[in-house]
Structure 1
Amino acid sequence: MILYHSPYSRSSTMITLLKELGAPAEAQVEVKIVSIRRSDGTGQPDPSNPHPEGKVPYLVNGADHVRERGAITTYLCEAFPQAGFAPMPGDPKRGQFLSWMAYYQGVMEPVLVAQFCEIDHPAYYATFRGLPEICATIRAALEGQDYLLGDKYSAADLLIASPFLFFTDLVPDDPVVAGWIARCGARPAVKATAQADQAELAAMT
């Protein structure tokens, strides 16, 4: 498998995921660093990146290609089930896990992009709601437990917490949600990815 990655981007979460999945994943998934066009207009798409839109992350496994973080997270967790980082088919929490993957892609990303672009429209809000509702959904899931799926950190926490760790001004004034974000951010894999991103970005400039 080959994971296409650019430092300090959405694909950094997938680098952290590989670390959380352990040595087998890091040994069997080759990481290729590519350039991308960033939201501030800097950078250029890399011709060596097979993503049809020049984005990251992008996972290639032979003839199989996977895009979008929710899908890649699910794919890699199933490829390395021994890590126990996500409920597998048949697990009673499998539905919750898949729901969080879809919620990130289908609700969180649109809401966060709309907020960044200062988009405000009744139809948009009626469909996706806003950041307060996202935080309320997370808080409800954390009722009586430390993580989204229970007392154990999982790939669901990794993905859902990722925008709050990247854009710290999004962290809500809610001790339950803020505490969960802090626990997610304290993971050694998160810190290791940040260090690697810094070194890789320096090497690219």
Structure 2
Amino acid sequence: MRVLGVDPGLTRCGVGVVEGVAGRPLTMVGVGVVRTPADAELGHRLVAIEQGIEHWLDEHRPEYVAVERVFSQHNVRTVMGTAQASAVALLCASRRGIPVALHTPSEVKAAVTGSGRADKAQVGAMVTRLLRLAAPPRPADAADALALAICHIWRAPAQNRLQQAVARHQGTATRTSLAPPASRTPGTPGAPSAVPHASKGRTA
């Protein structure tokens, strides 16, 4: 499984590609950052992010794209920029028919470090260890992108089993609702009682 992780941001959008399967050593295929100047117009910055992500999709051909789920913060301006960059990543992947998964920061931290409250230094250290790198990727946005990819590789099997179970349950419920009602034989609870026909007697 090859996954492109995207840590969305307007100024620095982290991107990292990881390959492997759950339960086996993972390999980093590539890591980097798509940058845009803070003084550029918003539209131009979004186009630059799109072009950068498209380049990574062309070069590495991932099977999945994992994007950090945007959550509420006190800095509304930061949240808006993150959401806009996230939407660009979703658009680029969906346009190519590549499945996209969203993971919250706490999910990623818990998957990589074992704690949903780990700081960036801990995430970077574990990414370095898990991918057998010589040094933590810099900046932290790049390490976070790799952590997203790792998280998805490890969580995907469980998510697939859950989705399959839900699909089976929905299919069973649908078949049950479409099935005709079972016929009941006389004498069983709830069955209509048989009413004997009165025979016509002859008069003497």
Task: Decide: shared fold, TM above 0.5.
Answer: no
Higher relative contact order (CA 8 A, sep 6+): 2
Name the one with the larger helix percent: 1
When normalised by structure 1's length, the TM-score is 0.26
